[in-house]
Every structure is written in C-alpha cells, then in structure tokens.
Amino acid sequence: MKILVTGASGRIGRALVAALIERGDEVRCLVMRQDPHAGALASLGKRVEIVWGHLEYYAEVEPAVAGVEAIFHLGAAMGSFTDWQFFEMNVRGTFNLLQAVRRVAPSIQRFVFPSSDAIYNKYVPGGYRTAINPDITPRDGKGTYALTKILGEEMCWSYLRTYDIPAVVVRFPICRTAEELPEFYELWLDGLLRYKRSQRREDPEAEKAVALLEQLQQAAGGERRLVVARDEFGHPYQRVYLDVRDAVRALLLTLEKPAAVGHAFPVIGKDQPVTSNKLVRYLSKKLGIPYVDVNLPGIPTYYAHDDRKTRVLLGYEPKYDVFAMIDEAVAKRAAQPAGERQAAS
C-alpha cells in the first residue's frame, strides 16, 4: 500500500514509518526542509520517499497526497505555538489534506486523524470521576490546541459524509517513549510547580498549591525530588499514559479493520489509568531519588478513559504498562557510558 505520513519525524511518526516499512508498504513522508530528522527517515530504505513541504500551503500538500491509498495525518502544532500557528498548521493543514484527497487520491482507503484527549475538559473541580466515553463525553476542552483538534475531527466527519473519504479518528493521551516517561513533568516537584504556576488564571486555588510546592522545593535544598500529588482530600492524582509502540499498533489496526471507518477511538496503555502514588513510588525506587507527598488545593489531575470500543472494533490490546516502560528506561540509562548519562540528565 502507498501511504502518506505527515509529522513523520515526530516521536510517533518515526516509529510508524519504520513499522509500515516492515509491513511492506511504500511510505511517503511530508517533511519540512529544516527538519533535522529527515536524514534518519531517508535512511530507512528505498521504500521511503521524502516530499518537502508545509501543511499550511496547498501547493506543497497536493504532490504529497497524489496517488496515495492511505494517510496518517500526524503532523500538527502542539506545545509552544501562537494561536495563529495552531490554526494554520492544525486546521488549514487538515483542510488542505482533505481537499487534496478529493482531487488527487481517488483510491484512498483510509484517512487516519490522530487527535488528542485534550479535546475534553479533563481538569475540573474534584477530578473527572467517571471514565471519559468517546461517544458520550462532551468535547469541551479549553485552549486553541483543543479547539483545532475538535475542528480537525469535524472536518474528517464532514468529508466522510460528503465525499466518502474513509476517515478514522484516534485520540491519544500522554504518549511517550519508554526513555521519556521518567521525565514527565508532573512526576517531579519542579515540573509540577511550573504547571501549577501556569494554572493560576484558570484555578483560583492554584496560588495556594504553588506556595506549598515552593516550600517543598526550598526544603529540598536544590536537589531534585519526585512528587506524589494528591487533591485536598488525599486522593492521588490519576492520569492515562501510552507507550509510542502501542500507539503505532493501534494506528496499524485502523488500516486492517474496515469497521474502524467513521469512529473515534481512545487509545491507552496497558493497565491504565495509573495513580501518582503507585507510579512515583515505583520510579523513586528505580532511580534512587526521594519523593515528597503533598495534598494540594485546587483542581486536581484525575481522569480515565473508556476504551471498550477500541478493544472490540479494532481488536487493540496494549502491551506496555508504565512500570515496564520505567524498567526499560532505567536499564538503557544504566547501559550508557557515564559521560552520556550525565549529558542526558
């Protein structure tokens, strides 16, 4: 199958391209010219074709789409971008791809749109106490990134209804490689402090949480500490995590399952969700770094996803839990020469 992957140089994109090559597909990657990972993609072999271009410019998108049979639209702005950049890359970019499919990809069999659980307002007073259902829970996420993902999903459904473009949406939570997971910001005192500082406009109690975390930071005397975060009643924070390899497994299943078309699927890791106390205590033991335990006022992180539809319609079964990911990360770190370990930290 001839497949286009946008965002091919990202953490999921690189793994997906390698998996598609192993599957025997021909892969075309839409890549920005300044992308530092383009060489690594090209090194995967003759079945990888690099097309230079930007999602925001239709004239550069159409040549990448021409003649493909499936598209994985991983390319997106996320993180530190302006509202204008979010719109241009995530909304106009998706529109350009769908328009190009209409014109130059008559044999399209799948248009896969990786979305995000940012489309939900997961951070509410008391935490999200019922599992998020992909077909029932309102898509009421806050911020421009969430808005652009909701608009992207709606474009997929509109083009499915109007032009019969076979769209599938997958919604990812926190998705990381095993090596990245131990450094996830909310597991660390300094990272959680930065996050709570950023929430002072949305959460009137965040200032009190910041004061508590600053006291703990000072007491640590400059040494990094992990943190078990709890709400004001002592309930540990709870998140959903996903290993990149499981994300790729789910994406491949969208190609193989005709019943996937027209559905949105939450994709989560094994044995999810996981609470802060379990994850941090395990990480503390593996790294030999102490943790602090604190009850924080204000809006907590507490949610779960109902992925029954993903398991039934896609036949998806995740393989990696957070503890296996941590074991793998620690083992790889231990195998590095001392100089490389210091540079990484």
Q: pTM for the whole thing?
A: 0.93
Predicted confidence at residue 340, as pLDDT, reads 56
CA proximity to 110, closest of 55, 186, 166: 166
186, 115: one domain: no
Here the tokens at position 323 are 């503890």
9, 81: one domain: yes
Instruction: Specify the number of domains making up the chain.
Output: 2
Phi and psi angles of residue 195, each rounded to the nearest 5 degrees, phi first: -65, -45
Parent domain of 9: 2-176+241-266
153, 212: one domain: no
**What is the CATH number for 115?**
3.40.50.720
Predicted confidence at residue 345, as pLDDT, reads 47
CA proximity to 279, closest of 203, 142, 176, 151: 176
CA proximity to 241, closest of 282, 280, 196, 274: 274
Q: Check if the beta carbon of residue 241 is closer than 8 Å to that of residue 323.
A: no
Here the tokens at position 94 are 């998706």
158, 83: one domain: yes
Cα–chain-centroid distance for residue 289? Answer: 27
77, 196: one domain: no
C-alpha 155/C-alpha 161 separation (Å) is 10
C-alpha 108/C-alpha 164 separation (Å) is 10
- 3-class secondary structure for 75-97? CCCCCCCCHHHHHHHHHHHHHHH
Taking CA atoms, 4 is separated from 170, 205, 330, in Å, by: 17, 46, 35
125, 216: one domain: no
Q: Check if the beta carbon of residue 244 is closer than 8 Å to that of residue 15.
A: yes
Residue 344 within any structural domain of the chain: no
Predicted confidence at residue 338, as pLDDT, reads 62
Residue 200 within any structural domain of the chain: yes
Residue type at 288 in one-letter notation: G
C-alpha 68/C-alpha 104 separation (Å) is 8
Find the radius of gyration of the CA atoms of the chain.
21
166, 96: one domain: yes
Per-residue pLDDT of the chain (345 residues; tens, 9 = 90+): 999 999 998 899 999 999 999 999 999 999 987 777 777 777 777 788 999 999 999 999 999 999 999 999 999 998 889 999 999 999 999 999 999 999 999 999 999 999 999 999 999 999 998 999 999 999 999 999 999 999 999 999 999 999 999 999 999 999 999 999 999 999 999 999 999 999 988 899 999 999 999 999 999 998 999 999 999 999 999 999 999 999 999 999 999 999 999 999 999 999 999 999 999 999 999 999 999 999 999 999 999 999 999 999 999 999 999 999 999 999 998 887 765 555 554
C-alpha 291/C-alpha 68 separation (Å) is 50
CA proximity to 55, closest of 40, 36, 35, 77: 77
C-alpha 126/C-alpha 131 separation (Å) is 14
130, 7: one domain: yes
CA proximity to 248, closest of 62, 89, 11: 11
Residue 42 within any structural domain of the chain: yes
Task: Name the one residue in this structure whose structure tokens are 């094994």.
Answer: 270
Task: Name the one residue in this structure whose structure tokens are 């608009």.
Answer: 151
Predicted confidence at residue 335, as pLDDT, reads 84
On average, the pLDDT of the chain sits at: 94
252, 289: one domain: no
Q: Count Cα atoms within 13 angstroms, Cβ side, for 71.
A: 33
